[in-house]
Amino acid sequence: MQEKYDYIIVGAGSAGCLLANRLSADPNNSVLLIEAGRKDNNLWLHVPVGYFKTMNNPKFDWMYKLEKDKGLNNRRIDWPRGKVLGGSSALNGLLYIRGDRHDYDNWQRLGNDGWGYDEVLGYFKKFECQENGENEYHGVDGELKVSNLRLKREIAELFIKASQEIGIPYNPDCNGAQQEGVGYFQQTSFKGFRRSSYRSFLNRKIRNRKNLTIVTDTQISKLLFKDKRVIGVNCIQSNNRPDKTIYANNEVILSAGSISSPQILQLSGIGDAKQLEKLGIDVVHNNPAVGKNLQDHLQVRMVFKTNTRTLNDELNTWWKKALIGLQYFIFRTGPLTLSASQVYVFTNTSLDGSRPNIQFHMQPLSADKPGDGVHPFSAFTMSICNLRPESRGEVTINSADPTQLPKIIPNYLSTEGDRKIAIDSIKVARKIAEADSLKKHILDEYVPGQSFISDEELLEAAKNNSQSIYHPVGTCKMGHDENSVVDEQLKVHGIYGLRVVDASIMPELVSGNTNAPTMMIAEKAAEMILSDNNPSLTM
Residue 274 burial by Cβ neighbours in a 10 Å radius (0-12, 13-18, 19+): exposed
Which residues is 187 bridged to in the sheet?
Answer: 95, 147
**Residue 313, C-beta contacts closer than 8 angstroms, at least 6 positions apart:** 320, 378
The DSSP 8-state label assigned to residue 325 in this structure reads H
**Quick check: 465 and 238 in contact, CB under 8 A?**
no
Which member of 285, 297, 361, 471 is catalytic? 471
Of the candidates 523, 5, 395, 530, which has an alpha carbon nearest to the alpha carbon of residue 235?
5
Annotation marks residue 361 as catalytic: no
> How many CA atoms does the CB half-sphere of 270 hold within 13 Å?
29
Strand 186-187 relative to strand 144-148, pairing: antiparallel
Sign of CA dihedral 254, 260, 262, 263: negative
**Quick check: 175 and 513 in contact, CB under 8 A?**
no
- Rounded to whole angstroms, how far apart are CA atoms 529 and 501? 11
Crossing angle of helices 101-109 and 117-127, rounded to 10°: 130
Sequential DSSP letters for 101-142? HHHHHHHHHTT-TT-SHHHHHHHHHHHEEETT--BTTB-SSS
- Rounded to whole angstroms, how far apart are CA atoms 165 and 108? 37
- Rounded to whole angstroms, how far apart are CA atoms 409 and 285? 23
**Residue 446, C-beta contacts closer than 8 angstroms, at least 6 positions apart:** 303, 304, 305, 366, 375, 379
- Rounded to whole angstroms, how far apart are CA atoms 33 and 19? 9
Phi and psi at residue 252, in whole multiples of 5°?
-105, 135
**Residue 159, C-beta contacts closer than 8 angstroms, at least 6 positions apart:** 182, 343, 362, 380, 382, 432, 438
Strand 244-254 relative to strand 498-500, pairing: parallel
- Rounded to whole angstroms, how far apart are CA atoms 460 and 379? 23
How wide is the angle at C-alpha 339 spanned by C-alphas 338 and 341, nearest 5°?
Answer: 110
Catalytic residue numbers, as ranges = 471
